[in-house]
Amino acid sequence: MHVNENTPPVAAREHTVESFTREFLRELNFSQGVDLDRASDNDKYLALAKTVRHYLMTRWLETLRNQYRDQAKTVAYLSAEFLLGPQLENSMLAADLDAIATESLRNLGVDIEVLRTVEIEPGLGNGGLGRLAACFIDSLATLNVPSIGYGIRYEYGIFRQTFVDGKQVEKPDNWLSLGSPWEIAHPENAVEVHFGGRTEAAVDGAEGSRAWIPGWHVMAVPYNYMVPGYRNGRVNTLRLWSAKATQAFDLQIFNSGDYEEAVRAQTVAENISKVIYPEDSTPQGKELRLQQQYFFVAASLRDFLVNVLPADYPLENLPDRIMWQLNDTHPVIAVPELMRILIDEKHWDWDKAWGITQQVFAYTCHTLLPEALEVWPTDLLGKLLPRHLEIIYRINEEFVEKVRAAYPGDELRVRRMSIVADEPVRAIRMAHLATVAGSHVNGVAALHSQLLADKVLADFAHMWPEKFTNVTNGVTPRRFLRLSNPKLSGLITEAIGDGWVTDLSQLRGLEPLAEDAEFRRRFREIKSANKVRLAGVLAKRDGIELAGDGMVDAMVKRLHEYKRQSLKLLHIVSLYEGIKSGRIPLESVAPRTFVFGAKAAPGYVRAKETIELINAVGRTINADASLQGRLKVAFPANYNVTLAEVLIPAADLSEQISLAGKEASGTGNMKFALNGALTIGTDDGANVEIRKLVGDDNFFLFGMDEPAAAALQDSGYRPGDFYEADADLKAALNLLASGHFTDGERGGAVSSMFASLTERDRFMTLADFRAYVDAQASVDAAYADQEAWSRSAVLNVARSGFFSSDRSIQDYLDRIWKAKPVDQNS
């Protein structure tokens, strides 16, 4: 079948299978330049993606037109990470094209499932923080909020993890190798971003102004991505910036034969958006990272002020038009950038500029680890952004005066609160800058926000209690239930209608069905089917086998000591040791697969050793015939959004076992509960709220709470005491140390983990071991009663509606942004 080039484009909102087929073939012929019978899967995937994109495009243009016309208050979400996950399925869902596309392709003899697997997900984030940003822009669009996401178009996303002899080996994530159909480049709208140089007195400048004479600059090229709302006609924009050298290369030097030197400047400039930092929860004091941060916020601010606002817009009214949400400290350099624009470029005086600046930024903090709060040495900041450093100094001078006025004579407090730290090197504390400048500061779960106000930012909360608020994180029900768990979605819709997709609180309507044996049976059937799907994916992807018909127990998150993958590992070793020594009868152990998914930052040695040990223990257990296949350890490499969508719907048990007071929120915990997994968890982050909502009977709580953990730490925690006092713990650790799992090797990772746990144990793994192992025994007992278990599982689903990112966004709108939805169709 061929289409004529003159076939009229399909009008939006009027897609039929026939028109879809026509569009698809047109794309295949005229964009890809192939016939259907010669098309590769990639050709077909690209043609399908572009067909879907065309359909959304009409709405996108409409949204942009309306937005420009209405000039409604807009939320700009500034984030160094957007962990988007696959785009095709989500776009089809939002556009309501999934059924039409599937049928159209089926008629052409094309399996849409195969095309789905062609897509390489854009891995432009490390973990929860980046994925949260992606959920938030989905909810912003679905809630009809005028908004725009701003970030970096990394050429290489988060590294592709492979295992070689059980050790993590990182490979570049070349996600753009086959081209992305979801982005539209606009090189003509490129923005110059300056760096370096010096400042000097401004001629005719306003009070406080200086002239910045930059040393070098790069071009920021915008790439636009569609962010479709769920079937509401709105398509918002995500704008990611790519760095481009201003001049391709120096032709003179090139002609003189020095090729390397000729392209050097180009390489330096383009490195800025080359690769995402594989870091999460610990800062890496790298110059390039600061370059990245300034690069994307400078381009984004300029873009908004120049391209989104009308030319004559009075900037005095900026607070009516914009809220810049700072996603963690990464974009905080936007604060002095706006000040610089207003003062040095618009010639405002200092007070007026500061008055506006304080109304248009708000800051979300995503951590509780003090070492994860970014600080930039003034040497580095001054070299890269000399004018910004001056501005920060002045902001600080005035701030410090305020503190002195509020707390006369309390110099200690002044030093604690100062934006400028003097020790160990003079440095700028970005969280302090954000807190001083932001209209609001929020944590990401109730406990986290409370600890921020009580501990991490206590002095600020004391001075400005009204600035501090909480917005508990959420996850988008579109991707993490409707799309990833079609069978459960179907069952839910059959029971309560499909309103839950955009109003997740409606899941409450399922509660009575927890008592309905037939509903529970169907729920279990779906879980089993999802496990079969997972087993298929893992077998094909990683050659991994699951424990036949057993529990799927999942711990998936970045590898970090505070998250305590090592506690999970100790439990597995202890179980194994118990069975082998006869202490635990094999029949009493429910068949289980322990699934891990975790990437370690490449420079984080301890985390990498943990991966190596999990793989070593897994190898031994998986090969041990005496266990009759009842226990399996599955550690698929390169856990990502694509895999999450298959794993989460299949899971029975969700492991959320961080040391209390360390996990800001967690969002995986929400996704699992929403899909009917029961949680075994500490009283940490959003676990606290999950447990309150689903009920103690449907949650396995264990371990110290935050006050207990803090008290133990203060009293001088001695992990060795726990090792000596608990025979099972000792046996497990000794078995590990004996080299049993590592071919007799007792050095390296084995001895390092042993020493780290028994001597220092920064996150008190050993102190929580007994409680954890006991809680795991109750899990085994509970799982034996499948009726009761599925009752709890259904209740977890029914009571998880609060954890929709739609609710989070509504909270941000009400409490922080003071912005309103704008109905796209009015």
Interface residues with ligand NBG (CB under 6 A) are: 127-129, 132, 280-281, 328, 366-367, 372, 444, 473, 663-667, 685
Strands 322-327 and 235-244: unpaired
Q: Which of helix, strand or coil describes residue 236? A: strand
In angstroms, the first-to-last Cα distance of the chain is: 40
Q: Which of helix, strand or coil describes residue 348? A: coil
Q: Supply the residues annotated as catalytic.
A: 366, 557-558, 563, 667, 671
> Quick one: 623 exposed, middle or buried, by C-beta within 10 A (0-12, 13-18, 19+)?
exposed
Number of residues that make up the chain: 826
Dist CA 774 CA 571 (whole Å): 10
Dist CA 616 CA 610 (whole Å): 10
Written as six digits, the tokens of 664 are 């800001």
**Angle 8-13-18 from CA coordinates, rounded to 5°:** 55
199, containing H or E segment = strand 198-201
Minimum distance from CB of 80 to ligand NBG (Å)? 10
Dist CA 756 CA 564 (whole Å): 13
Written as six digits, the tokens of 648 are 């989460």
Bridge partners for 795 per DSSP: none
Residue 31 corresponds to which amino acid? S
Dist CA 263 CA 703 (whole Å): 57
Minimum distance from CB of 473 to ligand NBG (Å)? 5
Instruction: Write the CA distances from 456 to 81, 367, 371, 470, 473, integer angstroms.
Output: 24, 9, 11, 14, 19
Distance from the Cα of residue 363 to its chain's centroid: 16
Dist CA 565 CA 547 (whole Å): 20
Return the number of the residue (612 or 684) whose C-beta is nearest ligand NBG.
684
Instruction: Dump the DSSP string for 692-759.
Output: HHH-GGGEEE-S--HHHHHHHHHTT--HHHHHHH-HHHHHHHHHHHTTTTTTT--SHHHHHHHHIIII
Residue 484 corresponds to which amino acid? S
Helical axes 687-694 vs 786-798, angle rounded to 10°: 110
Q: Residue 420's closest CA among 336, 295, 326? A: 336
Strands 427-429 and 375-377: antiparallel
Among positive and negative, which fits the CA dihedral 112, 113, 117, 120? Answer: positive
Bridge partners for 161 per DSSP: 170
Minimum distance from CB of 801 to ligand NBG (Å)? 19
Minimum distance from CB of 225 to ligand NBG (Å)? 21
Q: How many CB atoms lie within 10 A of CB 814?
A: 12
Q: Which residue has the tokens 């873009």?
A: 303
Q: Which of helix, strand or coil describes residue 45? A: helix
Return the number of the residue (627 or 664) whose C-beta is nearest ligand NBG.
664
Q: Residue 233's closest CA among 104, 99, 133, 143? A: 143
The per-residue b/e assignment along 543-575, b for 16 or more CB within 10 angstroms, e otherwise, is ebebbeebbbbbbbbbbbbbbbbbbbbbbbbbb
Dist CA 383 CA 381 (whole Å): 5
Contact 192, 219 (CB under 8 A): yes
Dist CA 822 CA 67 (whole Å): 9
Dist CA 394 CA 408 (whole Å): 20
Minimum distance from CB of 700 to ligand NBG (Å)? 20
Q: Cβ neighbours of residue 661 under 8 Å, at least 6 residues apart?
A: 368, 447, 451, 684, 706, 709, 710
- In the complex, which residue's CB is closest to ligand NBG? 128
Minimum distance from CB of 449 to ligand NBG (Å)? 11
Return the number of the residue (101 or 644) whose C-beta is nearest ligand NBG.
644
Strands 167-173 and 157-164: antiparallel
